[in-house]
Amino acid sequence: MCPRHTAPAPMTTHDNTSENLEIEQLAALFARARNGAFATLVLTGLVVLLLWGRVDAGALILWGVACGILEAVRIGLARKFREHVQSPGETIRWMYAALLPAAATGLLWGLPAIYLARVDSDWAMMTVFALPVAMMALAGVSYALNRTVHAVHILLVGAPSVVILLTRADADVQLAGVALAGLAMMSLYSGQLTAQRVRENLALRHATTELQARLRVIHDHIGSTTGVDRLVSFQSSHDPLTGLINRREFEKRLEAMLATPAGSGRRHAICYLDLDHLDMVNDTCGHRAGDAVLRQVAARLQTMVRGTDVLARMGGDQFTALLTDCNMDNARTVAESLREAVRQLRFPWEDHVFEVSTSVGIAAIDAGTSHFSDALSAAHAACLVAREDGGDRVRIFQSADLEHGHHHHLVRWMQKVREAVESSRFQLLVQDIVPINTRESHEHHGELLVRMLGEHGELVAPHTFLSAAERYNLMPAVDRWVIQRTFHALENHADALSSLDLCAINLSGQSLSDPGLLDYITDLLNSASIRAERLCFEITETVVVDNFESARAFIAALKRRGCRFALDDFGSGMSSYSYLKNLPVDYIKIDGSFVRGMLEDPIDRAVVESINQIGHELGMKTIAEFVESEEILRALAEVGVDYAQGTAIGEPRAVD
């Protein structure tokens, strides 16, 4: 049975940061209360001198002694609080220890006003007005660090005088009462702002201390290959954009759950979510706007699931939620709440306000689930059917969905990709890669990119057709088209490539496993008039790890011809530095997720620094991807990265 998700527990583990802030705020309160107590003792002496001979001496002495004892208690409490070690569980007790003296002080300082109300003279009314004003000023010193304590003190000090002045027949005295009430309200508001400012400063100090500690750990690890491996390995299990776990980690947890002993009777559910209109946001305002949408959606989804559930970003605009101990009826209820929560979000960006919806597919995990991929594929298939039916809806998996949904979707795109390959319906683009420090290098590189053209000549987003090309082993044909067109453009001195010293071509894992690819490239080099030194082949880190020996042999063979190689998306996969010593690559391309976040997240910056440092130690040049602003470019220059690529350098442009 899946509990109701309307009041979810936080996804993160509980920490005591808020309690520690309460303790520190109380410590500051008691410290200032001690100083305020000394000032109040001085004010008490002045009041006694001013009223001596005007009021009953016995009552005045009794009042003065009571004030002195109370201030001594406040000083003693401040010393006791400072000398004892507090824990989060004691904050309530110490709050009352601060609140009671504040209330007692307010009552004591309200008594003179009540006593003087019986005296019919101007000096008495002036005193009734002046005493609470003086105490309100002191309250800013003594109590303003805690809203409750400060409010109680101001109320008890000021209320008697305000009532007395407002009930007098004299209009001027009544006006003084109104003014005193206004001063009390201003004092309350000022106290609220002070308490908030102090808490924010304490929170900032906490964050700074934690950040310094994290940076010290990073600094300790930065010289250790093992430490850097652990750091990047942690980053590789989480999505840097949203902070959620990524597909790799989600599948690992899902597999571990299915590995629990059978017969436990536990039932779970997977919700697969696909945002319906994110492409419109990206096309209208760029990927920064799309990233902002993804972050907000992720934050909203986190509030809708329990701490025992698992929420992940699967890549692109897709998320999954693993609902533990949840039957299908309750899973559908949760899925509907997730869908509705996304639909109600609004995303303002510059002069646009976007709305997105999500299609949700649900699949069960029970005793009949043989492998985690079966459940994940089922949920994805149901999600595809929901999207093809119009989107913004929830669908529970049915066996026909595998045929109608996922398979139908991929087969349809497989046919389109095959037709595009046969009719050469692709477009070749290039994006500049420039040296950051022009005093050290003047080499101008460019990465060749491929876009598929639709039946009417429109550009098709890469992720739309690449998944089908990978599923049905069409990537070698696509890669060969890119290689052939690059050779053709270089031989014909295409304007877009004429100024480039190096042209980088991406190779997929399927192409690297193609035994005929090396001969294909070698034949082109033999027959073409271009220099091999102008070619650089990019292979992703994950592909290299999966095919290390074949990758090393492939690289060595083409490097003998003069070609260069780059390790792409480094940091996004296994991120082991150990194999780099035996991999003869010339460039390391730092994964863009770290580059894009290095201004806001010191961990991302530390990863960039560590990859750059290791690369230089191994004699390799480093290239930063996703450089989207001048600020990031300056930060990369400080780190010492060699090359930059991204929208801040230049958008991809057509080669043909």
Report how far apart, in Å, the C-alpha atoms of 363 and of each of 25, 245, 318 are: 49, 20, 16
Task: Name the band, by pLDDT with cuts 50, 70 and 90, for residue 89.
Answer: very low
Q: Which range is most confident: 67-76, 95-104, 620-629?
A: 620-629
Q: pLDDT at position 468, please? A: 74
Q: pLDDT at position 97, please? A: 61
Task: Name the band, by pLDDT with cuts 50, 70 and 90, for residue 13.
Answer: very low
The mean pLDDT of 411-433, rounded to a whole number, is 83
> Does pLDDT of 213 surpass 60?
no
> Does pLDDT of 560 surpass 90?
yes
Q: pLDDT at position 141, please? A: 52
> Does pLDDT of 431 surpass 80?
yes
CA dihedral 607, 610, 613, 614 (to 10 degrees): -110
The mean pLDDT of 117-129, rounded to a whole number, is 73
**For the segment 447-470, what is each residue's pLDDT rounded down to a tens digit?**
999 998 887 788 777 777 787 787
Compute the distance between CA of residue 37 and CA of residue 46 in angstroms, rounded to an integer.
14
The mean pLDDT of 368-380, rounded to a whole number, is 80
> In whole numbers, what is the pLDDT of the chain averaged over residues?
78
Report how far apart, in Å, the C-alpha atoms of 435 and of each of 87, 329, 607 are: 54, 57, 20
CA dihedral 22, 28, 33, 39 (to 10 degrees): -160
Percent of the chain at pLDDT exceeding 70: 75
| Of residues 250 and 59, more confidently modeled | 250
Q: pLDDT at position 159, please? A: 79
| Of residues 494 and 60, more confidently modeled | 494
Q: pLDDT at position 71, please? A: 74
Compute the distance between CA of residue 640 and CA of residue 291 in angstroms, rounded to an integer.
27
**For the segment 79-88, what is each residue's pLDDT rounded down to a tens digit?**
666 555 444 4
Q: pLDDT at position 577, please? A: 64
Range with the lowest mean pLDDT among 178-182, 198-202, 602-606?
A: 198-202
> Does pLDDT of 8 surpass 60?
no
The mean pLDDT of 548-564, rounded to a whole number, is 91
DSSP 164-228: HHHTSS-HHHHHHHHHHHHHHHHHHHHHHHHHHHHHHHHHHHHHHHHHHHHHHHHHHHHT-HHHH
| Of residues 622 and 70, more confidently modeled | 622
Q: pLDDT at position 484, please? A: 94
> Does pLDDT of 12 surpass 50?
no
Task: Name the band, by pLDDT with cuts 50, 70 and 90, for residue 103.
Answer: confident
- What pTM value is reported for the model? 0.48
> Rounded to 5 degrees, what are φ and ψ at 432?
-70, 145
Residue reference for tokens 């260069």: 564
Cβ 428 vs Cβ 654: under 8 Å: yes
